[in-house]
Amino acid sequence: MPEVRFLPDEMTVETRPGETLLDAARRLGIPLVSACGGDAACSTCRVMVVEGAERMAAPPPDEAVLLAPLGPDGGIRLGCRAIPEGPVTVRQLVIDKDDIALTEKRKMTQAKMRREKQAGINITDQKTIKN
C-alpha cells in the first residue's frame, strides 16, 4: 500500500488501493479542507506533490479541467481525485479559514470575469442620412 506523508502536519498514512488523498487524510484525522465535499468543484483540497509526482495516478478528466489554468507540470493535484500509486509527500495549500476566504474571493473574481453580457450595435450608412 502506498505511503503518503502530509505536510505541514508531518503525518504519514498508508493508503488503501484506489483511495484518494482526501479520503486517506480524513481517515487519519488530517483536516484537509474540502469546501465542496470532494466533488472536484472548488479546488480547496489541492495539494502540492513535493516528492513522488511520478507515483501518482494520472488525473481524471474532471481534475484535469479544474487544474488546467495552473499549467501542465503536474505538481498541483486535487486531494479528492489524486490517487497515489507509490510513496509520495504532499503539502496542503489551503490550511485555514483565511486561505478558504482567499480561495473563495479568487473564485468570485473569476466568475465575474466570465460573465456574458449582451451588447447592441447600431450600424448606419452615413451616406443616406440627411441633415
Question: ω before 8 within 30° of 0 (cis)?
Answer: yes
**80-114 tens-digit pLDDT:** 999 999 999 999 987 766 655 655 554 454 444 44
> Within a domain: residue 92?
yes
Other C-beta atoms within 10 Å of 39: how many? Answer: 12
| Set of cell numbers at residue 89 | 509527500
**44-76 tens-digit pLDDT:** 899 999 999 999 999 999 999 888 887 767 689
> Within a domain: residue 116?
no
> Within a domain: residue 115?
no
> Within a domain: residue 26?
yes
As a 3-state breakdown, the chain gives helix, strand, coil percent values, each rounded to 5, of 30, 20, 50
- Structural domain including 52 reads 3-110
**20-47 tens-digit pLDDT:** 999 999 999 888 888 888 998 888 899 9
Q: What is the predicted pLDDT for the residue at 17?
A: 94
Burial class (CB in 10 A: 0-12, 13-18, 19+), 53: middle
* Domain count along the chain: 1
Which CATH number characterizes residue 17's domain? Answer: 3.10.20.30
